[in-house]
Amino acid sequence: MTDETARLARLMNVAEAVIEELQRQGVLDIVADRGFNVTEMARAVIKAADGDVVPIPTRKTER
């Protein structure tokens, strides 16, 4: 298996796990309706698992 194939297989496995967890928690439809990008979440999970710092963007709420 090439490095690229292994990387994509890992990404797909993590994406499936993210989807299953969101479904288990009952929020899959909600986040899907809001344009949730499962691939980006899977990439962030992989980066965190590899020990990289994952910045979490925040939105400031206006009052």
Host domain of residue 14: 3-49
Within-domain flag for 43: yes
* Contact between 63 and 36 (Cβ < 8 Å): no
Residue 11 carries which DSSP code? H
- One digit per residue, the tens of pLDDT, for the chain of length 63 reads 689 999 999 999 999 999 999 999 999 999 989 988 999 999 989 998 998 876 777 776 555
What is the C-alpha to C-alpha distance for residues 39 and 15, in angstroms, rounded to an integer? 6
Within-domain flag for 57: no
pTM: 0.74
The Cα angle at residue 7 between residues 46 and 48, in degrees rounded to 5 = 10
- Number of structural domains found in the chain: 1
Q: Which two tokens stand for residue 9?
A: 């297989």
What is the C-alpha to C-alpha distance for residues 53 and 57, in angstroms, rounded to an integer? 13
Within-domain flag for 59: no
